[in-house]
Amino acid sequence: MFQQPPFGKSGDIEAGNNNNNNNQLYPSMIESPQLRWAFIRKIYLILTVQLLLTIAVASVVVFVKPIGHFFKSSGTGLAVYICILIVPFIILCPLYAYRQKHPFNLLLLGLFTLSLAFPVGLSCAFTSGKVILEAVILTAAVVIGLTLYTFWAAKRGRNFIFLGPILLVPSLCSSFLVLFRYLLVFCFILFPLGKLSHAIYGGLGAIVFSGYIIYDTDNLIKRFNYDEYVWATVSLYLDVINLFLALLTLFRAVD
């Protein structure tokens, strides 16, 4: 005969299954939601440290006026600036090679962050505080909004992998685009192209890298392996920095 299970046992199992389904980030998720959530929290913790370090370095460049004066008032400054842009390329190669080897991956990630923080600060050094504040606030709002939207959409079965071909290059190439953007921003300062050109460039850049935030967040939820946390962080960090620089260019033009 069929025996009734002990009181509460069936209900506990069903409750456990329901809780597991509620914790799933997307339908048909076969891995442990707890492990994936822990991985995501780790990524955003490292990203927060990167952004705080960038803010600290950029603040030093902005408030120590002789630094900006050196790069703006001499041809030597431009040559040094171009040399500085080469440093992230150099660090990026071993960072990719050792991205899964602790603690070298974190050490190289810190050096990579420092090498990009200086150009960010130099871009801000030639911008008014009002414009910088506007760009920071809007960047934070866009990043938080798009991140929440991507998690919400993934929960409902949306897939954003199609954005890869639309954006022309995967997340890796955004690291090269950001360096190219630094050079363009600096050239805009030395050789103004007009407010309209700045506004168009900044607006298009903001749209493109907003798409990157959605694309890389979707990869974070579904595709990055647990041992690729450093490379996942690099992708999101570069998306945020690129978005900030695009908005900085846009607000500088309309200020």
pLDDT in tens, 89-139: 889 889 988 888 888 889 999 999 998 998 888 888 888 888 899 999 999
**What is the tens place of the pLDDT at every residue in 190-217?**
555 566 766 777 788 888 889 889 999 9
Among candidate residues 8, 81, 2, 25, the one with its CA nearest the CA of residue 218: 25
- What phi-psi label fits residue 119: left (phi over 0), alpha (psi between -120 and 50 degrees) or beta? alpha
Q: How many CB atoms lie within 10 A of CB 45?
A: 12
Its sign, for the CA torsion 83, 87, 89, 93, is positive
pLDDT of residue 32: 86
Residue 72 CB burial class (10 angstroms; 0-12, 13-18, ≥19)? middle
pTM: 0.81
**In angstroms, rounded to a whole number, what is the distance separating the alpha carbons of residues 49 and 64?**
23
